Structure 1
Amino acid sequence: MITACRDSGIDLELRETASGVYDRSSGEETVRDLAPNTTLPDPFTVQVPGDPSITGKLYSTTGSTGVKSKAIITWGASDDRFADRYQLKYKPATQNNFFVRTGIRDLETELIDLAPGYYDFRVMARNSIGVESNYSSEMRVLLVWLREPPAAVSNFSVIPSNFYALASWTLPPDLDVQINGLIVIRHSPKTTGAVWEDGVILEEFPGGGVQGLVPLITGTYMAKAKDSIDNYSTSIASFVATERMVTGFTTVATSTQAPSFTGTKTNVSVVGPVLNLTDPTVSLTGEDLFSAALDMGTVATRRFEVDIEAISYVAEDLIGSRGLISSWPLVSGATVNDCDATIYASTTDRPRFL
């Protein structure tokens, strides 16, 4: 800047600049932009976060409420560097209005004790000045955590133990089996080809245990896990006990009821060589008394072994009871878990009691 002074002098104000500030173009100086414009994103446009992903988990509660379920919802972060909070909307698929969970700082959240059913989920991002993104895609999922069958029993084995059999297995991984669940052990006299429906229940043990005593019998021991709402594992664990495991005994007496079953009956009937429930719609149980008492000869400690050949089936699964093939849920029929046969015995050293 040039300024004329009263004493006829001239004052000069000069500014020194680096040579890099200007470019030369045709001998003229042109200004170079050493500080380019910012590349920060537009704060009024927020990028959409990733679509939500939903998984389930069981958890134990204090007191007497047992095992419950929770949904864990996760999503990918918004690409917007100013996005610092997220908002989740969810609702049952049968409803129109969403529930809202806002102010979420992480990339996941948990919803406790949702009722089983289909649910819709979506999520959006919000930046530090309150500007919101659009919502992600809406995801519909079926929540059935407590309805899923438990895992199969693993490492199931049986060994002789003081005239009994000690059954053992690995602790079930399912929390709803460990808490208020059961390990159910069945037995079939078959040593090959035995299936769950062939067996009768020997014992039921708490799901949090890993072993238990059962009768020592030749045949096939089978085990399933049963959870707190009576779901069974879909496959069985089995162990075959041969005659080599059951040694040191002498047979004193036997009683064979099949195939005639001539004792007094209640709601059961003989069809061919088989004893059937007569009418399950009248009563779910039936009874057949042995035709005669079993005489052991002398008073002594005895080991009583029962071998029952059984088959369980759903009456509606019989071909004659089915409708159109398109309506069949399973061609081979459903697995039966809740049928059983039990032998009751009383003893005395006085024949007049019999």
Structure 2
Amino acid sequence: MDLSIASILLLDGLTNGAVYALLGLATVLVFTVTRVIFIPQGEFVAYGALTLAILQTGKVPGTVWLLLILAAVAALMDMAAQWQRHRRVLPALKAGLRTLAIPAVVAAVTAFVAPRQPHLAIQALLSVAVVTAYGPLVYRVAYQSLADASSLVLLIVSVGVHFAMTGLGLLFFGAEGFRNPPFWDLRLSLGPLTLTGQTLIIGITLLALVVLLWLFFERALYGKALRATAVNRLGARLMGISSQTAGQMTFAMAALIGALSGLLIGPSTTVFYDSGFLIGLKGFVAAVVGGLASYPGALLGALFVGIVESFGSFWASSFKEVIVFTLVLPVLLARSLTSGHSDEDH
């Protein structure tokens, strides 16, 4: 291996690591606020890329109909909860309509615009909107009623949600893979390196998202509420911060990050209905490196995972996945030896 090959592998690793960093940040965000190890994070990635691919054909993606079905189920659950609380029809109807409003608008706009094959940027925005709307609904249907359950129970639910979303992906998208067009056709030759527009977009998106997350958590009232929920859920609830609203907002942000990640990797790799699982696991490895609590740690861990994967695919392409996932073992061992063990409730 000479310097030119090493620089190419390094650039490729940093590009992939930037995508894993987005997923790692989303995993840390969900875990710190809700204690959910969100395994289906990668499914949001696949849904984002595949929704854009279907929009490219001028058809209405199946995720639109799934969104309406999921919204209807969540609305019925909210109506039932309100009815049990107040025994009045009007509050129950209002709760159901609030849950249905945003998904119905997103689905209607997408179904209206899709056959007209608008510009790629509009299709990308619609794809992000559809997948982002899934986040609060997934939390409402699968996790909200189990908010006080143990982390093990929440993990088991995450496994079930993963299999359900993977199966639905096969139903709506089929077994065929899709690759999306790049958002920027720029190609810059820098010695042995070829810097593409898509690589620049990935880097800019990562930096922009990191800055926006920092501003949201440091400056915005809702961001401070999420930080309070992450630090002390009971104390935040006593201060009037709704843990249900915090959970739904957190899942919406995770879905948004997943959808953006899907759009970013779509032009560089063929995405199948089950491609999100491996991609999400690599983001999870990055989050574990950060201790499932540190955003800078998850960011650095993701870049490290990307570089290891890139060089591992060069030296032993058949074992690159094994090499990446083996990184979890020494990290967990080190944390087990250096961290104290306490009861979960403390």
Question: Does the TM-score normalized on the shorter chain lie above 0.5?
Answer: no
Per the normalisation by structure 1, the TM-score is 0.19
Give 1 or 2: higher helix fraction: 2
Per the normalisation by structure 2, the TM-score is 0.19
Give 1 or 2: higher strand fraction: 1
